[in-house]
Structure 1
Amino acid sequence: MLRAFGLAGTSVRLEPLAMGHAPGLAAAAAEDRSSYAFTAVPDGPGQAEEYVRAALAEQAGGRVLPFAVVRTRDDAVVGSTRFLDLDVVGYPGVVVPDDDRPPNVGEIGSTWYAASVQRTAVNTKVKLLLLGHAFDVWQVLRVTLKTDARNQRSRTAIERLGGRFEGIRRAHTTATDGTVRDSAYYSIVRTEWPGVRGGLLRRLEHWAG
């Protein structure tokens, strides 16, 4: 199984999600919940603890790596994200990724941020860290990103990052509001990564300017 790891940037870092992050997640989610209509975000300390426990249970299955997003200047937890559906394709049978045979496909998702860091450079920096590890360290073939098809804000953000729209998977899963949702699927493949990385770096230059 893959060992948990952290990723560090200049102003944000990704820490392996742990129970100690629950109070920070609760505080981050409480700032302003108006943007969470399509996103599973814990509400209050009790839900934050359950959120972490559920994520760690998924991690124990070997195909998920959850993170807390931490702002480095004050060590504040400002959100969460994770690698999902990590897999090793091209081998017979079911292969759970590990450090000797890392995933060659995966997904980035379950991402949410405190209201105070939305529409800032944080998401770009987080995606640069995650995509950089996936493509440059694991050498993956593709990374999937998906969202509720109704979530135009999320779809626009994925497209700005460089995700290519693949289509709508109809009646895909249960939405956060209890309805059955369609999911909009996007992807980045290995040959596109250099261009996507360049675009992310240019976006960060824009934020810095």
Structure 2
Amino acid sequence: MLLGEPIALENSWVRLEPLSNDHIADLAAASVGLEHAWYTSVPSPDRVADDVAQRLAWVAEGSMNAWAVRHLETGRVVGTTTFCNIDQANRHVEIGHTWLGLEAQRTAVNTAAKLLLLAHAFEACDAIAVEFRTHWHNRQSRAAIARLGAKQDGVLRNHRLGPDGTLRDTVVFSILPGEWPAVRLGLESRLRRG
């Protein structure tokens, strides 16, 4: 299966649905009250439609596979996630552009979604590496990525310019196929513990 092929993924906690304009209202509601830190790219409620349009443009280009995250316990769409920077020829992908609304934070939602994405990448798409990237200053994201079992590969200094012109140092993590079985067990164990 191709990394960019649209597909719904589901387990007992979440359903990842191919992102569409039908998700805009739910995503706008989910983004209410989020802290929009200068080092994140979470859209404000009035910018969700633009964010979805940009993601769908990247999907059309083939560089992204985007999902809305539906929390099955509540039935509500609570955020988004993607396969981005898809390099199908090298079977390499990044999981990113993820954000979750307040009701989904500190729940099983993120762990369950990452389990689905990683299983899809390694088991269905035969990925040779799954990467995660985050801003150096986003300590919460860095800690969450490390808890998944990803290894830090390094820091790309002055990697990008932010919307306000500040320079971003990007921390790069990855998981390789040989590490996936242990990562999978760790994620499943976290979900069982609640």
**Short-chain TM bin:** over 0.9
Does residue 131 in structure 1 map to residue 118 in structure 2?
yes
1:31-70 aligned at under 5 Å gives the runs 32-34=33-35, 36-45=37-46, 47-70=47-70
Indicate yes or no: 2:176 matched with 1:189. Answer: yes
Structure 2 residue 37 is matched with structure 1 residue 8: no
1:173 corresponds to: 160
Over 3 Å counting, the alpha-carbon distance change for 1:203 and 1:177 in structure 2 is: farther
Amino acid corresponding to residue 22 of structure 1 in structure 2: I
Tell me, which stretches of 5 or more residues in structure 2 are unaligned? none
Matched, 1:26 2:13: no
Q: Is the 8 A contact 2:133 2:173 kept in 1?
A: yes
Aligned residue in 2 for 1:115:
102
Distance 1:41 1:172 in 2: 19
Q: Tell me the distance in 1 between the aligned counterparts of 2:37 and 2:78.
A: 14
| Other structure's SS at 1:34 match | coil
Query: Letter of the aligned partner of 1:173 in structure 2?
Result: R
Equivalent position amino acid for 2:43 in 1: P
Q: Distance in 1 between matches of 2:162 and 2:107?
A: 26
Distance 1:160 1:83, change over 3 A: same
1:121-160 superposed Cα distances (whole Å, 9 cap, x missing partner): 1110000000000000011100000100111110000000
Q: Residue deviations 1:65-106, cap 9 Å, x none?
A: 01100112332110000001111345xxxxxxxxxxxxx110
Task: Quote the residue 1:81 is aligned against.
Answer: 81
Q: In structure 2, what is the equivalent of residue 93 of structure 1?
A: none
Q: Aligned partners of 1:123, 1:35: CA distance in 2, in Å?
A: 19
Equivalent-residue separation in structure 1 for 2:160 and 2:79 (angstroms): 23
Query: Is residue 39–residue 176 contact of structure 1 (8 Å, CA) maintained in 2?
Result: no
SS of aligned partner of 1:157: helix
Q: CA deviation at 1:174?
A: 2.4
Q: Equivalents in 2 of 1:167, 1:67: separation in Å?
A: 27
Distance 2:163 2:174 in 1: 23
Give how far 1:5 is off.
1.1
The root-mean-square deviation of aligned C-alpha atoms, in Å, is 1.5
**In the superposition, relative to structure 1, how do residues 193 and 43 fare at CA in structure 2: closer, same or farther (>3 Å)?**
same
Q: Is the 8 A contact 2:69 2:77 kept in 1?
A: yes
Number of equivalences: 192
Cα distance in structure 2, aligned partners of 1:204 and 1:176? 36
Structure 1 gaps, min length 5: 91-103
Greater displacement, 2-11 / 153-162: 2-11
Task: Decide whether aligned partners of structure 1 residues 86 and 166 sit closer, same or farther in structure 2, where only a CA change above 3 A counts.
Answer: same
